[in-house]
Amino acid sequence: MAWFGFINLYMVRINLSVIIVAMVRRNMSDATTPPCLGLRNTSHESFAEDEHFIPDEDGEMEWDETIQGLVLAGFFYGYVVSQIPGGRMAELYGTRWVFGGCILAGGICALLSPVAARAHYGVFIALRIVQGIFQGVSWPAMHSCISHWIPPLERPRFIAVVYFAAALSTSFTLPLCGVIIARHGWAAAFYVTGALSLAWCVFWFAFMHDSPRQHPRITPEELKYIEETLQRSGTNSSRSMKLPLKSILSSMPVWAIIVASAGNNWGLTVFLAKLPTYMKTILGFSITENGFLSALPFLLRYMGAIIWSSLGDWLTKHGYLSISASRRLFSAIGKRLADNVLQIPAFQTVAICQPPQTLRPDLTWIRFRSPVLTCCFSLTLSIPSSPFPGRF
């Protein structure tokens, strides 16, 4: 259920990244030849006659780049507000209601999105902020669930499989939205993703319980195993009524994690929000191609999470690395490699869009080289968040 929860969580979060490509009416000066493909006009061959590029129909929203940026950023304005309160709420009231409520609110916001967008972009931005506030509690709430349900040595696989379902969700939400938009229009993509979230909520509230002892169908053996392993690891299963705020704010490891996570999430968010727009306006892909190619890096990110977490788990179990050393090593490698690989597509795009005049660049080479390089970035970005064995 948690795995499907993260699938739905990201469905309604990132659907706008590809939907906005179809929503917005491009300026006449921008709606002709995408810059990289316009290189074919250097010969007598007309770009308009190129059978490889078929312009999509313009959307109905007349939003400039500033408004589009605000619309895409609206979710995160709300998202950042509820992170710490969300974790505290899950401690006090349980993951069942907090995590389930955030998915329910996200589904409702998705269903209301077409109405809000057509009313005014300000209404749509406000709706995205509200959605961000509700969904900001999702990750902290699941941390609370892990502390009650998952034995420490099983947490690496749980994190890799369940948490990185967000990347897997992105990998099929983007192409799904592309196909829906091509056949039924952009509003239908909001309706489908929102309805799926509401359907998930029915099963979540019916079968989810906040702790093993509350579960009516758990076997005595399983209950004993979970509680004993949590007790041996020092995990506190009770709900603390006092927040050690001073200790948290004065902890250097906490600040190190904050800084590292900020950099990690910056690169990931740029890809989530802007990659489909880049694919359309610069590389000239259709809405269907756009969805599939934009999703590829996130599929590799999910696969990478499984690989790196399994490796980290194996190294700690066999005594080659301590838990702390495993975290530090994989985080350092992942951050550094992702930083280096992220710079490659930028330089390659310059080379692609400005080749020597003596070269006749092939259309396939121009359009597909940069997306393939972004996949390398996502594969390295999966490293730092994967091998987290031990206690939280």
- The pair of structure tokens assigned to 362 is 């092939």
Mean pLDDT by 10 residues, the chain (392 residues): 88 88 68 51 44 55 88 90 84 87 94 94 94 90 84 76 79 84 91 94 90 84 82 59 79 84 76 71 67 72 74 78 76 67 53 45 45 48 45 36
What pLDDT is recorded for position 306?
73
The overall pTM is greater than 0.85:
no
**233 in Cβ contact with 120 (< 8 Å):** no
- The pair of structure tokens assigned to 133 is 């506030």
What pLDDT is recorded for position 47?
41
What pLDDT is recorded for position 202?
94
Strand pairing partners for 61? 24
Q: How far apart are CA 140 and CA 87, in angstroms?
A: 4
- The pair of structure tokens assigned to 20 is 């906005």
**200 in Cβ contact with 341 (< 8 Å):** no
Q: How far apart are CA 187 and CA 164, in angstroms?
A: 27
Q: How far apart are CA 231 and CA 137, in angstroms?
A: 26
Q: How far apart are CA 266 and CA 245, in angstroms?
A: 26
What pLDDT is recorded for position 53?
44
Number of neighbouring beta carbons within 10 Å of residue 321:
20
What secondary structure letter does DSSP report for 153? G
The radius of gyration computed from the CA coordinates of the chain, to the nearest angstrom, equals 23
Buried b (16+ CB within 10 A) or exposed e, 378-389: bbbbbbbbbbbb
What secondary structure letter does DSSP report for 238? S
Q: How far apart are CA 302 and CA 229, in angstroms?
A: 28
**390 in Cβ contact with 155 (< 8 Å):** yes
What pLDDT is recorded for position 335?
65
